[in-house]
Amino acid sequence: MRKNIVAGNWKMNTTLQDGQALISEIVNMVQDEVTGSQVEVVVCPPFPFLSVIGKQLPAGGRFHLGAQNCHQKESGAFTGEVSAQMLQSVGAEYVILGHSERRQYFREDDELLSQKLKAALAAGLKPIFCVGESLETREADETFDYLRKQLQDGLFHLSNEEFDQVVVAYEPIWAIGTGKTATSAQAQEVHAFIREQIARAYDAQAADNTTILYGGSANAQNARELFSQPDVDGGLIGGASLKSRDFTEIIKSF
């Protein structure tokens, strides 16, 4: 079901102690300042901190725990890897998949991501599936063809029931960590396009029910404008999720 979500992707940042201090500040500020709004907050710390940070999130409320990646297999001899079931067992409800940093630095392709999606869904996790074009693609005026293919190859192999569990995140690569945000009009244009592709692949109801987040230099200053767009249902926040005041302001932007 379509929701408003603000997800914080801590990436490979913080120590356990810094992370605990950060989440404690965020929980206190959000509880004091965010009233009435139904926005869901998903916190995605690094793997080793999931369990501890998860225990700091007030149970049964707007806070949810997410991971930044998972392996495609259930278990086995895969030294250093973490399965979706492990994540579920420490309280994660969401997992980010297909982030451009994973695609670029760890060579994750559509085939591998398809397997990861299946593994996450089988373990009962909700995937936050990222798509987004490079600056080169945008400048060549190929954004929509590129995104259509990314969605078709990476995501639309899922059944209707599986797709129901998925949150889509549009993250233009040129906007990630660069301070260069997509304008709200650019974000809206792409989000509407993604929703249209979902309607074609599934149906209008599936499209209407899908939560589509924007990610890429979203911050306390631009979040309100971005979130006011009809097809922008929230944000996947990197840098600004590491600052309690900024992250809280973003959550308050609905």
Burial of 111 (0-12, 13-18, 19+ CB in 10 A): exposed
- Nearest approach, Cβ of residue 161 and ligand G3H (Å): 27
* Helix H or strand E segment including 113: helix 110-122
CB of 3 or CB of 55, closer to ligand G3H: 3
CB of 196 or CB of 225, closer to ligand G3H: 225
CB of 66 or CB of 201, closer to ligand G3H: 66
Structure tokens at 100: 């451009």
- Nearest approach, Cβ of residue 149 and ligand G3H (Å): 21
Which has the closest alpha carbon to 26: 68, 67, 63? Answer: 63
- Numbered residues of the known binding site: 9-11, 177, 217, 238-239
Q: Which of 108, 171, 191, 249 is catalytic?
A: 171
CA distance linking residue 166 with residue 178, whole number of Å: 27
- Numbered residues of the known binding site for substrate: 9-11, 177, 217, 238-239
Alpha-carbon distance values, 222 to 113, 123, 183, 214, 219 (Å): 31, 35, 9, 11, 6
- Nearest approach, Cβ of residue 42 and ligand G3H (Å): 11
Give the 3-state secondary structure of residue 196: helix
Structure tokens at 132: 């987004």
CA distance linking residue 210 with residue 231, whole number of Å: 10
Q: Which residues bind ligand G3H (CB under 6 A)?
A: 9, 99, 171, 176-177, 215-218, 236-240
Which has the closest alpha carbon to 162: 192, 200, 110, 202? Answer: 202
CA quadruple 168, 172, 46, 76: dihedral positive or negative?
A: positive
- Nearest approach, Cβ of residue 154 and ligand G3H (Å): 16
Given a contact cutoff of 8 angstroms between Cβ atoms, the answer to whether 230 and 188 are in contact is yes
CB of 101 or CB of 231, closer to ligand G3H: 101
CB of 73 or CB of 224, closer to ligand G3H: 224
Active site annotation includes 171: yes
Alpha-carbon 184 to chain mean position: 18
- Nearest approach, Cβ of residue 229 and ligand G3H (Å): 17
Q: Which of 64, 71, 99, 191 is catalytic?
A: 99
Instruction: State the residue number with the nearest CB to ligand G3H.
Output: 238
Active site annotation includes 99: yes
Residues designated catalytic: 99, 171
